[in-house]
Structure 1
Amino acid sequence: MQKMIWIFSLTLLAACQNQRKANPVQKGGTAAKMWADFTDSHPEIKDEEMPEAWYFHDNKRDANRLAALTVAGRKQASSGLYTWYREANADLPKVGTKHIVTDFEGRAQCLISVTKVDTIPFFKISKAYAAMDMGTEQEPLKKWKDAHWKFFKSALSESGKEPTEDMLVVCEQFQTIWPE
């Protein structure tokens, strides 16, 4: 069941990352208001379609913690398995794509823009990238590997697969662009 949710999320967002879940956005909601405020301040993009809104991870505590780190500019990356994109026949994230990050309840927290996308084997993830993804400088690589190994293992086990040190990770870097 969880794998089906991830595949659905992947298809819905045309991108999949290990720690984000689609959030339905209703007209008049906080995501729509945030987008309207952003486009009012940046009229050159007023004709762009409102981006997808979603939260990180799969529980309230982590979703809200990661959203707060993103608002503060400390979390600047997110990671997903390449195999999830391949299985869903979805494109990898693209530089310039915008997303609205919400808290677990779906309240818009910030707007981010993708700045870089790489596909890297798990064992080659750098300390610098791990710090961007985890939002910390305290043992970021150890924390990243522990957290992501557990998450990938859990997600892959549903399809009878096991994580490997050479599995490909889609490393998406972003910057928080709103609020400014």
Structure 2
Amino acid sequence: MSFTPIPDADPRAARARAGRRDVRQDAECAAFWDGFTASLAGGDPRRTAWPDAFGFGGEGPLADELAALVLAGRKRATASLPVEYTALGEALPVAGDLSIVLDGAGHPVAIIERTSVQLVAFEAVDASFAAREGEGDGSLAAWRQAHAWYFGQVFREWGGRLQDDTPVLCQCFQVVWPPTVADARPVAVARAFEGQAISPAEAIAAYLRAKDGNRPYLLDAAFAPDVQLRMVVRTDAISFPPASAGREALAETLVRRFNQEYENVHSVCLGAPPPPDAVAFGCRWLVAMSARQDGAVRVGCGRYDWAFAPADGRVAALTIRIDAMESLPPDTLQTVMAWAAALPSPWCPERVAVDALPALAPLRQVAQALQRADA
């Protein structure tokens, strides 16, 4: 389903009602964040990150109750609707994102790091996730009752209604600050920054997060320093240099310059991830995005061919083939993004992506490109 904000909605006022804070403008949150970053090693990429800040459930008694569950170690997941971000002009959260948790009075109490983010239909949220959220008696029935009420409040503000197939952002997280309540940090990218091996699937996922989220630092975890890039472009709709050598050159081409031209980027790899011992792997990919200059919506597909360093799993060579890149009018953005944001990420069954393609004429070219024998 699509979500249409009410015409006179003020995102700044909505952020305040939702218990959100701008960390840069809030001295208490900024000091709390500074305490965390001061505890990190000099090379830790989180030192240069910048979090959002919010209260679970907004403000007041509910935010106090849920913050207490986080501090007690009982709550390690949260569920939200995509419109809670898109209506405020914010990107959907992804694994690795950091946030400051506020209590009911807006005071910072913890910093969390998302370990996984999945879009799941409301009716498909399972008992294990409900238990991880840790609210009420931890049962799935209690989860559905509480979230039907909460999501109803969200829809009353932004338009729409809750249905069984409404996509829900199921986010799991760990607490990284303060030390008295922090969990261990098992995120694979952290191991890579510490010089440990990373699996091929983790390297690919880190690359997609780097590209889609404009996070070039993540390429340090995913790619070898002397990585080689080859581009094969079979369309005139987009252009890239035919080759690049070295991690910094790839970061400039695939992340920095790319994000200067495009926003609202959603990429997935089609099919199953590579096995842990893979030294070479090929998969098709699909992307949806919009051009910053004119707002045109782009949907494209192609193929990745990866070569991994046996010693540590980082990408040693990558060939990116672009088979199709279709352009659609700006007024199709909501339709295309609703489809793209609902796809499983980073690994999506091809049939799931193709069957759900919006009924827009240019997208037939994308579907046909995916069905070609040499894809």
TM-score (norm 2): 0.40
**1:176 paired residue number:** 175
Partner of 1:31: 29
Q: 2:141 and 2:20 mapped to 1: Cα distance?
A: 28
User: Displacement of 1:75 after TM fit?
Assistant: 1.0
Shift of 1:110: 0.5
SS in structure 1 of the partner of residue 48 of structure 2: coil
- Aligned partner of 1:81 in structure 2 is 81
Deviation at 1:24, TM superposition (A): 3.9
Decide whether the 8 Å contact of 2:114 with 2:172 is kept in 1.
yes
Contact (CA 8 Å) 1:54, 1:100: kept in 2 or not? yes
Shift of 1:168: 0.8
Cα separation, partners in 2 of 1:163 and 1:49, compared to 1, 3 Å: same
* Residue pairs, 1:14-163, within 5 angstroms: 21-25=19-23, 29-44=27-42, 45=44, 47-85=47-85, 90-135=90-135, 138-158=137-157, 161-163=160-162
Q: Which moved more, 1:82-91 or 1:43-52?
A: 82-91
In the alignment, the residues of structure 2 paired with residue 68 and residue 168 of structure 1 have an alpha-carbon distance, to the nearest angstrom, of: 27
- The structure with the largest alpha-carbon Rg is 2
Residue 177 to residue 117, structure 1, CA distance change in 2 (3 Å): same
The offset of 1:79, in angstroms, is 1.0
SS at match of 1:155: helix
- What is the letter of the counterpart of residue 41 of structure 1? S
Secondary structure in 2 matching 1:104: coil
Q: Structure 1 pair 105/139, CA: closer, same or farther in 2 (3 Å)?
A: closer
Letter in 2 for 1:115: T
Which residue identity does 1:30 align to in structure 2?
Answer: E
Cα distance in 2 between the residues matched to 1:116 and 1:151: 22
* Deviation at residue 53 of structure 1 after TM alignment: 1.6
What percentage of residue pairs aligned between the two structures are identical? 28
Q: Distance in 1 between matches of 2:142 and 2:121?
A: 17
1:50-76 per-position Cα deviation (integer Å, ceiling 9, x unaligned): 312211113411111111111222111
Partners of 1:134 and 1:143 within 8 A in 2: no
**How many residues are matched?**
170
Q: Specify whether residues 159 and 60 from structure 1 end up closer, same or farther in structure 2 by C-alpha distance, changes over 3 A only.
A: closer
C-alpha deviations, 1:4-50, integer Å up to 9, x for none?
Answer: 36x5589x7xxxxxxx6312446683322222221121133374143
Task: Say which SS state the counterpart of residue 55 (structure 2) adopts.
Answer: strand
Q: Which moved more, 1:111-120 or 1:148-157?
A: 148-157
Determine which structure has the larger helix proportion and give its number.
Answer: 1
